[in-house]
Amino acid sequence: MKISLSSVQLGSLFALGAAFLFSTKAIFIKQAYALSPLVDGTVLMALRMASALPFFLLICWLNRHHSRDLSAKDWGLLVFAGLLGYYFSSWLDFSGLMYISASLERIILFLYPTLTVLASCAIYKKKLNFKSIFAITLSYGGTVIVMLQEQSTVAHEGNFWLGVSLVFASAVSFAAYLLLTPRLILRFGSWNYTGLALSVACIGTLTHFLVVTPQPFVLLAQLPSQIVWYGIALGLLVTVLPTILIAQSISRLGAAQSAMIGSIGPILTIILAVALLGEHMNGIQWLGCILNIIGVMMITLSKKKLAQ
Q: What is the pLDDT of residues 49-107, one digit of tens each?
A: 999 999 999 999 998 887 777 889 999 999 999 999 999 999 999 999 999 999 999 99
Exposed (0-12), middle (13-18) or buried (19+): which is 214, by Cβ within 10 Å?
exposed
On whether the pTM is more than 0.85, the answer is yes
Whether the Cβ atoms of residue 299 and residue 132 lie closer than 8 Å to each other: yes
253 band by pLDDT with thresholds 50, 70 and 90: confident
Exposed (0-12), middle (13-18) or buried (19+): which is 174, by Cβ within 10 Å?
buried
* pLDDT tens digits along 47-58: 999 999 999 999
Identify the pLDDT of residue 305. 46
Q: What is the mean pLDDT of the chain?
A: 89
Average pLDDT rounded to a whole number, residues 231-247:
93
CA–CA separation, 96 vs 50, rounded Å? 21
